[in-house]
Structure 1
Amino acid sequence: MNTVTLKQNLIKFQSIIALAAMCIALSLLSDRFLTPENTWNVMRQISVNVIISVGMTLVILTGGIDLSVGSILALAGAVTAGMLKFGAEFTDANLYIGFTLLGALIGGTLTGTLLGWFNGFTITRFKVPPFVATLAMLTIARGLTMLWTGGFPITGLGDNMAFIGTGWLLGIPMPVWISAIIVLAAVVLTNQTMLGRHIYAIGGNETAARLSGLKIKRIKTIVYSIAGALAGIGGIIVTSRLDSAQPNAGFGFELDSIAAVVIGGTSLSGGKGTIMGTVQGALIIGILNNGLVLLNVSPFWQQVIKGFVILLAVVIEKFNSKEE
């Protein structure tokens, strides 16, 4: 194997190498790291980030960014909890509508989808930069969450709702099943469908994609809608796991999501990256968080370390791009 081939393989498998090195180091530093209980704990913890990061990957592949996923997650979770517990009451018409669990889940997911669609509509129709449009949605969705909940948690959602976030099926936690199904669907979408090829084409060269006849606005709107829907599903899982819809849920989730995507090798300029790379990035972030907790590292230092890891990942990505 020559030097060029070795360098290409190191670049290709850098996420896996980093993940393996981290696992080895943490297993030596803490005897609690490789226990079955901690392994499933890590898998449960990263499930929501994996789901959100799948949507973020699609957005970044088009050359965009979505800073609103944490707030959309909070609002979707609150809407789900509110529909399930309180239903909808129309006092003027003397009408009350109750919702089943399925109805509430659909309502929460549609809430995320609608907000994601609005992001895409704003970006494509009014030419608002994605950073600005989604930053505005971050504030809008957080404000709507506070209005919906009155600033107080919505609790006592029942055992059926709790099963989504805390239950087990065939010896595997439900959040892991949900995230695995979403990852599989996203892999098929990006690798086997026309939409997936168009997403890569737009991120690679939007001008060429437009001249080729691709409907850029429609595709971007679909991508942001998917990202919103996945944030909504993440919100449902978080709400289920806590048995409570917290008004401040989702703070910082956009940072972990972007970190997973970048660490997984997706280019911030778009057109390059994979879903499985993002899963590896989410694993690295999750294991890093878990390991720092096991080692009793201060939460403040955890943020510092995580920030440096993200910065290092971006620097490596830029360096690799120049090498190619």
Structure 2
Amino acid sequence: MPETRGTGTTVGDAAMSAPKKQEAVPGLALGLALLSAGPVVILVLLIVVLSFLSPYLLTGRNLSNILAQTAVISVVAMGQHLVILTRGIDLSVGSNVALASVVGALSFHAGAPASVVIAVMVGCGAAVGTINGLFYVFGRLPHPFIITLATLSIAKGLALQLADGRAIPGMPDAIDALGREAVWGLPGSVFVVAGVAAVLFVMAKTMVWGRWIYAVGGRPDAALRMGIPVSWVLVSVYVISGLCAGIGAVILAGRTDAGSPLFGNLLELDTIAAVIIGGASFLGGRGHLGHALIGAIMIGVIRNALNLLNVNVFFQLIVIGVVIVIAVESDVLRNYLEGRMRVLQAGRQS
């Protein structure tokens, strides 16, 4: 007779059921790995499929166009990524870009050199970001949605007032070259994106500030108990988001040789979509800077391909919305699988 336990289960039955539990964990681990690599895999598959639908997609000139068109979204999305890591959101980035471009155009017409125009545009963006961070943190607002929605309206109104509702043509040659000239076959704006990404990556990986961001987003209460300056960490990410918006304004002004209060319409939605499509979570504390760039490029590829296929611009909005829903559902699935893995691993250790 096989030996039995107190519950009536035989040793043989337990031995047969044990491998099933051990097999489940590697299966879930594989699922998590696929979801983590999802943005890259989806981007590659997207390019492969769309290249069959349009022979022009992978031409050198079109690829250069995609990189140039997504440069602004990429830069601003990196700032939005840091904000979302802390469970926040910045709705003002589009209006911030418009205001910074108008202020830059006005300073150029006032006789300022290129270096001053660039500094004014980036400084204007950082100022709006600073206002967002300070009011959210020290005004004790329940959510950053409130203040960033307010500054979205204020910055747009200021831009329209200063520009009298019209575009202001003219930018310094250095800014125009940044937006239009190619270096080694690549748009100059690509090198700006790479530079911003490199700086933020080094800051996030080598400075304790980078670990603080993930701690504040993942467990804000625990971060406070650990002595992390949560308030100033939150302010810093909104300042950087504003800085990125100012840099995005420089790139956009260079491409158009103008500043306009109409710049940045729906840019806040594009950047949030890029971050979420890239694999970040609205729950905070999870995400990779490179994935935000992948999400931005994915949006650019989709729009470029739909334009090449002569798809109606309104349908493009529907496609982007569907992609966002899929990305959010992937995040929900990832959270479920992570929870299952923790339960099964705890069961194996007990």
Q: TM-score scaled by structure 1?
A: 0.94
Secondary structure in 2 aligned to 1:132?
Answer: helix
Q: Which of 213, 229, 232 lines up with 2:246 in the alignment?
A: 232
**Alignment partner, residue 222 of structure 2:** 208
- Decide which moves more: 166-175 or 212-221: 166-175
Measure how far apart 1:308 and its partner are.
Answer: 1.1
**Alignment partner, residue 79 of structure 1:** 103
Secondary structure in 2 aligned to 1:15?
Answer: helix
Matched, 1:273 2:297: no
**Alignment partner, residue 269 of structure 2:** 255
Aligned partners of 2:165 and 2:213: how far apart in 1? 38
Measure how far apart 1:191 and its partner are.
Answer: 1.5
Please say if residues 175 and 251 of structure 2, whose CA atoms lie closer than 8 Å, have aligned partners that are also in contact.
no
The one-character-per-residue Cα deviations of 1:158-208 (angstroms, maximum 9, x if unpaired) are: 433311211122332110000011111111121211111000000001111
**Alignment partner, residue 167 of structure 1:** 181
Matches within 5 A, 1:28-177: 28-85=52-109, 87=110, 98-128=111-141, 129-177=143-191
Aligned partners of 1:316 and 1:257: how far apart in 2? 18
- Decide which moves more: 21-30 or 170-179: 170-179
In structure 2, runs of 5+ residues without a counterpart are: 1-22, 339-350
Matches within 5 A, 1:305-320: 305-320=319-334
One-letter code aligned to 1:54: M
**Alignment partner, residue 191 of structure 1:** 205
Q: What RMSD in Å do the two structures reach over aligned CA positions?
A: 1.2
Matched, 1:322 2:336: yes
Secondary structure in 1 aligned to 2:166?
Answer: coil
Please say if residues 277 and 328 of structure 2, whose CA atoms lie closer than 8 Å, have aligned partners that are also in contact.
yes
Aligned partners of 1:125 and 1:5: how far apart in 2? 42
Please say if residues 122 and 247 of structure 2, whose CA atoms lie closer than 8 Å, have aligned partners that are also in contact.
yes
In structure 1, runs of 5+ residues without a counterpart are: 88-97
Measure how far apart 1:239 and its partner are.
Answer: 1.1
Aligned partners of 1:36 and 1:288: how far apart in 2? 17
Task: Tell me which structure has the larger Cα radius of gyration.
Answer: 2
- Hey, which bits of structure 1, 4+ residues long, moved more than 6 A? none
Measure how far apart 1:216 and its partner are.
Answer: 1.2
- Decide which moves more: 48-57 or 183-192: 183-192
Aligned partners of 2:223 and 2:280: how far apart in 1? 19
Measure how far apart 1:245 and its partner are.
Answer: 1.0
Aligned partners of 1:183 and 1:160: how far apart in 2? 21
Aligned partners of 2:205 and 2:224: how far apart in 1? 21
Aligned partners of 2:145 and 2:237: how far apart in 1? 15
Please say if residues 85 and 217 of structure 2, whose CA atoms lie closer than 8 Å, have aligned partners that are also in contact.
yes
Aligned partners of 2:202 and 2:171: how far apart in 1? 34
Aligned partners of 1:284 and 1:81: how far apart in 2? 31
Measure how far apart 1:8 and its partner are.
Answer: 2.5
The one-character-per-residue Cα deviations of 1:227-266 (angstroms, maximum 9, x if unpaired) are: 0011011011111110111211100111110011001111
Measure how far apart 1:312 and its partner are.
Answer: 1.4
